[in-house]
Amino acid sequence: KAKSLHPCPVFVKVDENMLFGMGNPLLDISAVVDKDFLDKFGLKPNDQILAEDKHKALFDEIVKRNKVEYHAGGSTQNSVKIAQWMIQKPHKVATFFGCIGADHFGEILKKKAEEAHVDAHYYEQNEEPTGTCAACITGDNRSLVANLAAANCYKKEKHLDLDSNWELVKKAKVYYIAGFFLTVSPESILKVAKHASDNNKIFCMNLSAPFISQFFKEPLMMIMPYVDILFGNETEAATFAKELGFETDDIAEIAKKTQNLPKENTKRQRVVVFTQGKDDTVATVGDRVTMFPVLDIDQNNIVDTNGAGDAFVGGFLSALVQEQELEECIRAGHYAANVIIRRVGCTFPEKPDFH
């Protein structure tokens, strides 16, 4: 009997703590602003940066806007939350580690993680307040300014190394850490990445923002040999290529060269996935580079693109922990991103409608 090209995918049973994420837990403060506001603080319409002293006033000003919204954020936390939402049951498939302050914003993050059924284990300290991220929305652009504060205080020996926490790490089979965490605790990332590599488990990472490749290239390249799946968008891919002297601005070529960078666990060929907004997603499939068109959406239905990249990764990871083929993981990623851009921040309806 001829085998159908698209047999019904067999979903592997998922268990608690199968997906592990670690990163900067931030409370997103989101508001629609105008060009004058961006100019005043020297912001590009579409960017992610770390807050400097000159941005202190920005936080005071944005909260005074009439329509300000607060959402649990932080890139990695968004992604594992979306993955959990896509999976639905069981609860707590996703584990999350990060550092918060002992304060009101920290309580909000705990409550939001619980509502999303994510098994969050925060390292709580009272030196610094819970981190925030100002999402300055203009049209379908978003300029993100992160004030890491407490998120920057994550300590490997105070949290990750504790037996009860490390046991949760060992339970996972898929790991995801956004590049943003390289600015906080590269030694924590390395410990998790090595564990994944030594046990032939899947370690995923994200280029996250152009400034990571530019200013944190050393820790990024220290982790790269352990990366099984690398995510990024077209701007981040171009910056990464420039920093590594790839001498090409062809995204497929960049994906190929990135795939061929040195790798520790040779049992798994590295997969590179670059999203390009409304243009095709580029991914390495075996030795070829393939383009995957995104779902069509009317510009008028795009409310805010904040969290689109995180959502793509979350959808992708939800299929990955269920051991789906790469094409299926990308399809799930495209679906999740398509849902998120219709809403403010990285928020989602009660249940996914993904088949």
Residues marked as catalytic: 310
Vertex 87 angle, CA 272 and 278, to 5°: 45
Q: Is 92 exposed, middle or buried (0-12, 13-18, 19+ CB in 10 A)?
A: middle
* Dihedral Cα 79, 189, 146, 68, nearest 10 deg: 30
Count of CB atoms situated within 10 Å of the CB of 54? 9
Q: Do residues 183 and 50 touch, judged by C-beta distance below 8 A?
A: yes
Q: Which of 323, 317, 322, 330 is nearest to 289 (CA)?
A: 330
Q: Do residues 297 and 150 touch, judged by C-beta distance below 8 A?
A: no
Helix ranges, the chain (H) = 35-40, 56-63, 75-87, 104-115, 163-171, 186-198, 210-215, 217-223, 234-243, 251-259, 308-320, 326-340
DSSP code of 306?
T
